[in-house]
Chains A and B, each alone.
Chain A
Amino acid sequence: MELSRKDFLKASAGAVGLLLLQPPALALAKESQTGEDSAMLVDVTKCVSCWWCYAACKNYNKLPETIKPDPEQPPPLSPNVWTTLKPIKRGTEWFSRKQACNHCTDAACVEVCPTGALSYNQMGFVQYDKEKCSGCGYCAEFCPFGVPQLERNKLSGAAVMDKCTFCKDRVADGEQPACAAACPTGAIKFGKRDELVKEGKERVATLSKANNNAVFYGDKELGGLHVMYVLDDSPEVYGLPVNPEVPAAAIVRDVLKWVGVGAAIAVLAGFGFNYIVAREARMTRELPGGEYMRKRKDEENK
């Protein structure tokens, strides 16, 4: 079949149109996919600091117990502590916020991990592959929530990181993560993300009747967190940044490496060109410094 000019133009216009349409279509697909993801909703107003989430996490993930849980001095996150209760003091009262990996959709740790040890899995969670980890600790320094923690030898630099997996094996089998399953008050709820977003917003609306500070956290932050929070006070009070972002340095680093690749290719290509030209020229021309040498000879002759 022969294409007429008109047909070709029509087809081209159609193709361009499709291309223009594609980005929003893709973006939409990603959003609805996040909605279909499994997620967790942490409602701090329902938390009674019973530490069952902590114990269930330790138990299911077979993490050795190194510190005795003490409400006065709760264990911070570490390679052996994947979820903990962050103590929050408000006035004279103590509260807790469950603290673990939030499994961001746009995760700074994945962005900066130099070996691909941190990546997104099919369920949208941030997964960690111990085999690939070099122990550099960039994840710990770039995470806006300060979640990844390393135990390191200061001299040799050897270090191990480990963190919450969202109990991906359990979730894949249709079960709840261990912490959510153990929570006796419903402060940790597991479900489809879009349903939890709806529920979280409704809960905040209810709370707002009595409390203007109540907020729903994690819906849009960093592309949407897989662990969202119902808070009865500003995020800062609960140790959560108000506008968490992938640090600028992570983006600068990404740009720099491609600038480097481009510059190296340009320099090497320049050498190739220079070599071809200069090699030919050297055969036909006198030695460098000719003018200088002639001047000196003139001076000597004087």
Chain B
Amino acid sequence: MTEPRVVERFKKRTICLHWIHTAAFLILLVTGAILFFPGIGGPAAGGLTRLIHRIAVVFFVAIPVIYSVFNPRTALHFIKETLTWGKEDIGWVEAAPLYYFGVADEKMPPQEHVNTGQKMWQLIVLGTSVLFFVSGLIMWFFKGTVPAGLFQWCVIAHDVAFLLAFLMLLVHIYTGSIHPRMTESLRSMWDGRISKKYAKSHYGKWYDKISANEK
């Protein structure tokens, strides 16, 4: 039995933002990661990957900025949502291990539009973006003009941001599209809709709110 997917979860423009941002990030990730180990650094020779890295970052920064200019309320809501943490989040953390291993579901408190785990991801995205942006900007435009010590720690900051973002991206991909419970998440980031059943069980608090609004 397939449930009709009738609950709107993401707007089209948000989905566009998500995938363009993803593409830019993956290009940045690949062109950056090859600089980690001299053994795989071959493609970087000649500097073409460094140029691609610079072009990709323009999209990576500009696309969310343009989105925010045209959708200031959504952007503000995103930031507020990411930075608001409460008691329910502790409940999620306590319930998560058993929930995600499929052992016990009952303890999992009903979630908002995004659950605590997704909020952690959003926080990593926001936080590492700032770290990436500041350290990257210095390395791009102020190489040779800032003291060598500052440059060196910018390299480290960029590396740390990369590690955090990369590891959390693995978690995001797994929990968003592979985990056995997340049957509709990936599709919802494609056409924006989920079933009522999925909305109730995964985002109970949010579903209550939107169904109350409809009445």
Do A and B make up one complex? Answer: yes
Find the residue from A134, A267, A275 having the highest chain B CB count within 10 A.
A134
- Judge whether A252 and B156 touch: CB under 8 Å: yes
Cα A256 to Cα B167 with chains together (Å)? 13
Query: A288 contacts which chain B residues (CB < 8 A)?
Result: 99, 105, 108, 181, 201-202
A117 interface hit (Cβ, 8 Å) = yes
- Judge whether A281 and B102 touch: CB under 8 Å: yes
B67 interface hit (Cβ, 8 Å) = no
1/0 per residue A83-124: CB within 8 Å of B?
A: 000000000000000000000000000001111110000000
- Chain B binder among A136-144, A188-196, A204-212: A136-144
9 closest A-B pairs by beta carbon, nearest first, are A281-B102, A115-B41, A116-B38, A291-B106, A249-B152, A114-B35, A134-B44, A288-B105, A278-B102
A275-293: which have CB < 8 Å to B? 275, 277-282, 285-293
Please name 6 pairs of A and B residues whose Cβ atoms are closer than 8 Å in the assembled complex, sorted by A: A115-B38, A257-B37, A257-B159, A271-B170, A274-B179, A288-B105
A158 interface hit (Cβ, 8 Å) = yes
Query: B152 contacts which chain A residues (CB < 8 A)?
Result: 141-142, 247, 249-250
Q: Smallest Cβ distance from A119 to chain B, in angstroms?
A: 9
A135 interface hit (Cβ, 8 Å) = yes
Q: Which of A114, A152, A274, A279 contacts B41 (CB 8 A)?
A: A114
- Chain A binder among B19-27, B72-80, B119-127, B138-146: B138-146
A274 and B100 contact, Cβ closer than 8 Å, known pairs A134-B41, A256-B160: yes
Q: Which of A132, A154, A159, A259 contacts B45 (CB 8 A)?
A: A132
B70 interface hit (Cβ, 8 Å) = no
A21 interface hit (Cβ, 8 Å) = no
Cα A233 to Cα B199 with chains together (Å)? 77
Query: A247 contacts which chain B residues (CB < 8 A)?
Result: 148-149, 152
A64 interface hit (Cβ, 8 Å) = no
- Judge whether B200 and A135 touch: CB under 8 Å: no
Cα A146 to Cα B53 with chains together (Å)? 26
Number of B interface residues in the complex (CB < 8 A):
57
Query: B202 contacts which chain A residues (CB < 8 A)?
Result: 288-289
B86 interface hit (Cβ, 8 Å) = no
- Judge whether B39 and A116 touch: CB under 8 Å: yes
Q: Which residues of B contact A (CB under 8 A)?
A: 34-39, 41-42, 44-47, 49-51, 53-54, 99-103, 105-110, 140-141, 143-144, 148-149, 151-153, 155-156, 159-160, 162-163, 166-167, 170-171, 174, 178-181, 197, 200-202, 204
- Judge whether A135 and B47 touch: CB under 8 Å: yes
Query: Of all chain B residues, which has the CB nearest A263?
Result: B167
- Judge whether B180 and A275 touch: CB under 8 Å: yes
A253 interface hit (Cβ, 8 Å) = yes
Query: B144 contacts which chain A residues (CB < 8 A)?
Result: 137, 140, 150, 152
- Judge whether B54 and A249 touch: CB under 8 Å: no
A289 and B45 contact, Cβ closer than 8 Å, known pairs A249-B156, A263-B167, A271-B178: no
Q: Which of B102, B171, B200 contacts A289 (CB 8 A)?
A: B200
- Judge whether B54 and A156 touch: CB under 8 Å: yes
Cα A132 to Cα B171 with chains together (Å)? 34
- Judge whether B153 and A249 touch: CB under 8 Å: yes
A260 interface hit (Cβ, 8 Å) = yes
- Judge whether B109 and A281 touch: CB under 8 Å: no
Query: B149 contacts which chain A residues (CB < 8 A)?
Result: 247, 249
Query: B109 contacts which chain A residues (CB < 8 A)?
Result: 292
- Judge whether A289 and B105 touch: CB under 8 Å: yes
Cα A140 to Cα B145 with chains together (Å)? 12
Q: Smallest Cβ distance from B87 to chain A, in angstroms?
A: 15
- Judge whether B171 and A267 touch: CB under 8 Å: yes
A131 interface hit (Cβ, 8 Å) = yes
- Judge whether B148 and A280 touch: CB under 8 Å: no
A264 and B170 contact, Cβ closer than 8 Å, known pairs A281-B102, A282-B102: yes
- Judge whether A157 and B178 touch: CB under 8 Å: no
Query: A25 contacts which chain B residues (CB < 8 A)?
Result: none
Cα A131 to Cα B44 with chains together (Å)? 10
Q: Smallest Cβ distance from B156 to chain A, in angstroms?
A: 5
